[in-house]
A and B are shown apart, each in its own frame.
Chain A
Amino acid sequence: GESVGLHLPTLSVQEGDNSIINCAYSNSASDYFIWYKQESGKGPQFIIDIRSNMDKRQGQRVTVLLNKTVKHLSLQIAATQPGDSAVYFCAEIWRGSQGNLIFGKGTKLSVKP
């Protein structure tokens, strides 16, 4: 079965607002997590990653939070723009998986102008 899941399949936000996309994982052996963005007709694009020895990591307009106690991962996008409209996937790698990612099914983010 799949160990990475999502709280919401779709998310609609107003341009300029902050977006929060959530992800739950069930494998406590997971030690590396990645967020991907997939625009229509394109392959997944790497956004940001975080290792299990960290709680928070920031990039440009994006922040990933990792709560290992409840096995929860979130992606925060500040000042959401129309170009942020896409499907967002979380993915995990767990020790012993030979580096293969396990993907969640994705959350579709729609940005209203």
Chain B
Amino acid sequence: DVKVTQSSRYLVKRTGEKVFLECVQDMDHENMFWYRQDPGLGLRLIYFSYDVKMKEKGDIPEGYSVSREKKERFSLILESASTNQTSMYLCASTSGARENSPLHFGNGTRLTVT
């Protein structure tokens, strides 16, 4: 079974702090994704990566950056956290045959910015 592990289930940070959300997958997947999930808005794609050191903007990249130094790890960075970044963050991965492969999700990190 694919395992996508997000390092924190709950985080509380202050406005202006730099925040790191970590995600690791154990299936040698090429593709990794970061989403945020908000009531009434569903899942929205922030950033994704198809290979080490590669990154692509998703639908809502503003205020975020990412890092993919190793194939199994994809980090989401909030350079200066703001209250509107309070959300559930979901990491996902899939194999390189992306057209026919479902995403496998972690259990999420619920971030609160005060």
Contact with A along B22-50 (1 / 0, CB 8 A): 00000000010100000011110100101
In the complex, number of A-B residue pairs with CB atoms less than 8 Å apart? 57
Q: How many residues of A contact B (CB 8 A)?
A: 25
Interface residues of chain B, those whose CB is within 8 Å of chain A, are 4, 31, 33, 40-43, 45, 48, 50, 56, 58, 90, 92, 94, 98-108
Chain B neighbourhood of A93, CB < 8 A: 98-99
- A residues whose Cβ falls under 8 Å from a Cβ of B: 2, 31-32, 34, 36, 41-46, 49, 51, 89, 91, 93, 95, 98-101, 103-106
The 5 closest A-B pairs by CB, nearest first: A99-B98, A43-B105, A105-B42, A103-B43, A46-B102
- Assuming the contacts A42-B108, A43-B90, A44-B90, asked whether A101 and B103 have C-beta atoms less than 8 A apart, the reply is yes
Closest B residue, CB atoms, query A35: B102
